[in-house]
Chain A
Amino acid sequence: MSYGYRKSADVNVRLKTSVHQIIMYGILLSIFLLFSCSQPDYSHVETRDLSGGFDQPIDMTGSLESFSFLVLNDIHFGREDKGVYWKFDEFWQWLDTYPGSIDFALNLGDFTEDSQEDEYLEYADFIQDLANRSIPMHTVAGNHDIRNRGRSYFSTYVCAAPYKRFAHKGISFYIIDTGNRSLGNRQLEELIKETAQDTNLKMFCSHVPLYGSPDLIYFALPDTQERMMLLKTMVDEKVGIYFSGHHHSGDVLYKYTEENSEFIFGAFHGRDSFFESTLPRWYVCTYDSIKNSLGITRHTVQKDGSITEVLIANLIMP
């Protein structure tokens, strides 16, 4: 930080330090030493060589059809923070009486609190409950899901590949692994390469937002260059939307162009605390092949147990 600040610039000053200054420096030094010298288990720190791939064969015949899918994120099984609550009974009851057809479900990550095996097992049961209703689940890894042995549990209980793609009724969905707040070199390269060869309309599904809004000081991808490359890929390769979670308040829409947007979904669990005040939510996205648009409808469990339905956005796709 001492830019242009060398000894020749008269910087040697006498040591005359007051008690509060000593304490202040002591605290700062302690923080620094703790950060430098702590011995976390680095064996689980991921390299950029994740064992995924976007090379799954997909149908690119271009026959688009209308359909709906369920989106939820930030379930956080095992979370014990103050004020956190879930409305699973209301969710299953709503799903069992939903009048439309839901082709599949998309989970945008952070389904565990601390990547523990019992939390993964709870999520596996959740996936099974959906499967019993003929709704397959596609899951994105979140930052809470990759701690400790999280990636190992992810491949065991959720999906073998941390990133992948699938196509449904003419749209390609790219499940992106941003659990580390970055795609990493290999995933980014593969994403750019495979989307360039994929002629379908595409949707990116991530945990960490791409941008969102200026005030997301911690909640988006931090690397400007990586963001530029993803954005250019979205605009050049018919990626209509970037779905994300992570920011529990959610419901943030940003339109990069008329045909390229980002939407941040709110958390599945509710929380009633000083830091976070949200109601349990999930969403239904409906692609309209005639209008080539995507509607996002939010379903919220209110305090009285009723579920409200609001159309949040209707976005034109490229």
Chain B
Amino acid sequence: MAIERKDASCRIRCIPVAVYLILTLFVAPTIGATDISLTAVTQTFGWFDSTTTPTHLDGSTSIEFSGDGIGLDVGMRIQLPVWDIGLATSFFLKDTDEPLRNMIVTKVHSAHRPSFGSSIDVVGGYGRIINIAAHAMDVSISYGLGIQVSATFMPFLDMPLINFSPYYDLEIALEMFDSLMISTSIGSSTLFEYSTQAMSPVAKGSIAYDLTDAITVGCEYSVHFSDILPETFIIAKQEAKAYVVWIPKVS
């Protein structure tokens, strides 16, 4: 029995590596096959406090790519003892002349907690985004609906624990004076944050300022609720972070 568990532990340790390889294999050909280009590199530093890990520092790096009809965000977060890898893509449908753009949203996420286990989340959904240009302000509203499938792997489980839950997302972003951006969102997941059950939303607010054409700085605060009802939820996780975004010049 002990040997079986050791083997199972090895398999689970391999899961994040496998996800990373799959993501790399998926991302690299996508970038190579299209005219997709690097849009931004974001580095965050912050603090988090959760039910399972009391107050701790964390950091993440994510890279954004975009091109004709596709947006892609891939990143890694270290929130010890948990390691997260996330990939999110937006495939825009052919309606670029319309004020709103329809898209297919897909996400893949893997979290690994050494000596405990790993989890994988996969999201598929339909989204819409609209950009409204006003005199002194650009407003962007986006929303999405879909389905999420999650799997939890632990050494002693013969089969992973599978969960189905709805995917939902709503975001409003305001850009003012060509340099200041404020956004707020609520949804079932972010690039790194997921739950296995419905109605445990993540709410987020951020403010960012374009220091130069190439550098944006900002800060963000997010909370992950245990339930949606104000009468019964507690904050399962809260994060506060600062970030720097490097936006390369488009040639």
- Chain A residues with CB under 8 Å of chain B are 1-6, 8-17, 21, 25, 28-29, 32, 35-36, 38, 40, 42, 44-48, 143, 146-148, 179-185, 188, 211, 214-229, 231-232, 235, 256-257, 260
Contact = CB atoms under 8 A, between A and B. Distances in A.
A257 B132 CA distance: 55
Nearest to B65: A4
Contacts of A232: 116-117, 154
B18 to A, nearest CB: 18
Nearest to B100: A21
A13 B101 contact: yes
Interface in B173-225: 173, 184-187, 191, 194-200
A2 B90 contact: yes
24 contacts: A1-B187, A4-B65, A4-B73, A10-B68, A10-B96, A13-B131, A14-B97, A29-B141, A32-B170, A45-B230, A181-B200, A188-B51, A214-B162, A215-B164, A216-B163, A219-B197, A220-B163, A220-B196, A222-B197, A222-B227, A228-B117, A228-B154, A232-B117, A235-B156
Contact of B88 (A3, A48, A228): A3
Contacts of B173: 2
A259 to B, nearest CB: 10
Interface of B: 39-40, 50-54, 64-68, 70-73, 82, 88-90, 96-101, 105, 111, 113, 116-117, 119, 127, 129-133, 138, 140-144, 150, 152, 154, 156-157, 161-166, 169-173, 184-187, 191, 194-200, 226-227, 229-234, 236-237, 247, 250
A158 B105 CA distance: 48
Given A4-B72, A147-B232, 7 more contacts: A3-B88, A25-B141, A45-B233, A48-B51, A182-B236, A218-B198, A223-B200
B185 A221 contact: no
A143 B232 contact: yes
Given A148-B231, A214-B162, A15 B99 contact: yes
Contact of A214 (B105, B163, B171, B231): B163
Nearest to A231: B154
Contacts of A211: 161, 163
Contacts of B165: 217
A78 to B, nearest CB: 15
A223 B171 contact: no
Contacts of A10: 68, 96
B171 A224 contact: no
A2 B140 contact: yes
Contacts of B141: 25, 28-29
Nearest to B106: A3
Given A13-B96, A143-B232, A226 B185 contact: no
Contacts of A224: 111, 119, 150, 152, 194-196
Interface centre among A10, A182, A214 (most CB of B within 10 A): A182
Q: What 9 A-B pairs have minimum CB-CB distances, sorted nearest first?
A: A4-B71, A3-B73, A222-B197, A222-B200, A9-B66, A222-B195, A182-B226, A3-B88, A40-B230
Given A1-B143, A16-B99, A181 B233 contact: yes
Given A4-B73, A16-B98, A228-B117, A223 B236 contact: yes
Contacts of B144: 1
A143 B187 CA distance: 22
Contacts of B90: 1-5
Nearest to A256: B157
A275 to B, nearest CB: 16
Contacts of A228: 113, 116-117, 119, 152, 154
A4 B234 contact: no
Contacts of A229: 52, 116
Contacts of A35: 186
A15 B139 CA distance: 11
A181 B196 CA distance: 12
